[in-house]
Amino acid sequence: MRNLKAKDIMTEEVLKARADWSLARLAEFLFENSISGAPVISEEERLLGVVSSTDIISKGTLLEDDPQSSPHEYYLHNLERRYSQTEISSFSIAGEPLVTVGDIMTPVVFLVNEDSSLKDVADIMIKNRIHRIFVTRDERVVGVISAADMLQVIRDM
Q: Are 36 and 149 in contact (CB under 8 A)?
A: no
Tens digits of pLDDT across the chain (157 residues): 678 999 999 999 999 999 999 998 999 999 999 999 999 988 888 889 999 988 888 876 555 544 444 444 444 555 566 666 676 566 555 555 478 999 999 999 999 999 999 999 999 999 999 999 999 998 888 999 999 999 999 998 8
Supply the DSSP symbol for 60.
I
Q: Are 88 and 110 in contact (CB under 8 A)?
A: no
Q: What is the full DSSP assignment across 115-148? A: T-BHHHHHHHHHHHT-SEEEEEETTEEEEEEEHH
* 0.85 exceeded by pTM: no
Per-residue model confidence (pLDDT) at position 67: 47
Per-residue model confidence (pLDDT) at position 91: 59
Contacts of 62 (CB under 8 A, 6+ apart): none
Q: Give CA–CA dist 37/40, Å, rounded.
A: 9
Locate the domains of the chain by residue range: 6-155
Q: Give CA–CA dist 155/157, Å, rounded.
A: 6
Per-residue model confidence (pLDDT) at position 115: 96
Per-residue model confidence (pLDDT) at position 98: 75
| Superfamily the domain 6-155 falls into | CBS-domain (3.10.580.10)
Per-residue model confidence (pLDDT) at position 6: 96
Per-residue model confidence (pLDDT) at position 126: 96
